Amino acid sequence: MTTIEEAVSFGLSFKNTYIDTPFRKADWKLLRIKGSKKAFLCIYERDGFVNLNVKVDPAWRDFWRSTYASVIPGYHQNKEHWNTIILDGSIKEDDIKRMIAESYDLVTDSPTKRIYEAVKRIPKGKVATYGKVAEMAGNKKMSRAVGNALHKNPDPDNIPCFRVVNSKGELAPEFVFGGMGEQRKLLEADGIEVKNNKVDLSKYGLE
């Protein structure tokens, strides 16, 4: 990858992305996420080379900078959270793509997305409390956010929110996808015993 066209093409291969040219210089291009409009890739020419600015996890920031001399602190951006990749031919193609992909993942991440991914990991025959889901999603303190996210579950067939109960193992009195009776029916179909609209966490709770 050495040209603007190649960088743009790869950036646009990610879901829900589009190209924007908000600056005076036409060769400065931003690749953004539809909806949030957040940029994950900035492409421009500088000192005879195509440069890419990518968002980076601070845990990996210095690794990339020490691995390649052509990966430097973000040019014209927050140097704690952004790196600049100079496409001078010295960086492995796979690593360039990996850094762009990591930037995309960082920008598209959200608490709600992490909550849904956590719920997907609750196996059949088990339940998790709101607090456990919050912990699995990376923040023990966002139990309330778990409830709000599940109330707006966009894909209940694949995000099994019926496997989430309160801290006492009780079913949701207002289970949004058919009421408490529907949640009980789905849990029982999973092989989970429900007594008095309550699940025994010691037996079925996710560790």
Q: Model confidence over 123-155: pLDDT tens digits?
A: 999 999 999 999 998 888 888 889 888 888 888
**Is the pLDDT reported for residue 23 higher than 80?**
no
* Alpha carbon distances (Å) from 126 to 157, 161, 164, 165, 189: 17, 12, 9, 11, 12
Whether residue 121 is found in the same domain as residue 185: yes
Task: Please give the average per-residue pLDDT across 41-55, as a whole number.
Answer: 93
Whether residue 38 is found in the same domain as residue 58: yes
Among 54, 86, 108, residue at a domain's last position = 108
Q: 109 vs 57, which has greater pLDDT?
A: 57
Task: Please give the average per-residue pLDDT across 81-102, as a whole number.
Answer: 93
- Residue 26: the pLDDT is 60
pLDDT band, residue 24 (cuts 50/70/90): low
Instruction: Indicate which residue of 52, 91, 161, 171 is catalytic.
Output: 161
161 assigned to active site: yes
Spatial contact of 169 and 199, defined as CB atoms under 8 Å apart = yes
Whether residue 24 is found in the same domain as residue 67: yes
Whether residue 123 is found in the same domain as residue 189: yes
Whether residue 158 is found in the same domain as residue 146: yes
Whether residue 23 is found in the same domain as residue 95: yes
Whether residue 78 is found in the same domain as residue 120: no
**Is the pLDDT reported for residue 200 higher than 90?**
yes
Whether residue 117 is found in the same domain as residue 190: yes
Helix (H) and strand (E) counts in the chain: 8, 10
Residues 6+ apart with CB under 8 A from 28: 21, 42, 43, 44
Q: What is the C-alpha to C-alpha distance for residues 206 and 52, in angstroms, rounded to an integer?
A: 43
pLDDT band, residue 25 (cuts 50/70/90): low
CA atoms within 13 A on the CB side of 182: 10
Q: Give me the CATH number covering residue 43.
A: 3.90.1150.30
Whether residue 139 is found in the same domain as residue 89: no
pLDDT band, residue 80 (cuts 50/70/90): confident
Exposure of 71 by Cβ count < 10 A (0-12 exposed, 13-18 middle, 19+ buried)?
buried
pLDDT band, residue 112 (cuts 50/70/90): confident
Task: Please give the average per-residue pLDDT across 13-42, as a whole number.
Answer: 84
Full domain range(s) for residue 9: 4-108
Domain tally, the chain: 2
- Residue 202: the pLDDT is 94
